[in-house]
Amino acid sequence: MQIWMSSESSKEVLNEEQLTRLQLARNYVEEILKKELKNKSYDLPLDSWDCITVMMGPNDFGERVKYSVKKRSMDFRLKIDPSVFNTTDDLGRQKLIFVMLMRSLDLLKEKFEKVKPKLDDHNYEELERLRSDALDVARNEGWL
């Protein structure tokens, strides 16, 4: 499974040091998941598990949850509370990012349910297998 992550952040909520911590935590989680899931394949109508971490000020643009079965793509931009992120340690930041990724799978399942014609049950089983494999990685990393 291919995984891609990025972030959108604001200097309103993250200073330079905190932004560096975000990049380090996000990159670490992404690298570990890529390494552990790279040789696994999932029969999903999706080419890559893509998610963007959003940490912006109070007047931000909100979350985005878009999925296209035709393009086999997802555009998920999900928030993490910057006040929580800024007051925890490295492991805590990794956990927050992993929880956001698990939430992206919940939201992806909801998007799958809206696809017409209906997706085969096999797609949901594969999504659960991806979730299970990611949770195994999280247990090994101490993210749970």
Q: Give pLDDT tens digits along the chain (144 positions).
A: 899 999 999 888 999 999 999 999 999 999 999 999 999 999 999 999 999 999 988 777 789 999 999 999 999 999 999 999 999 999 999 999 999 999 999 999 999 999 999 999 999 999 999 999 999 999 999 999
Count of domains in the chain?
1
Range of the domain at 39: 2-141
Overall pTM > 0.75? yes
- Those residues with Cβ within 8 angstroms of residue 65's Cβ, 6 or more apart along the chain or in another chain: 75, 76, 77, 78, 107, 111
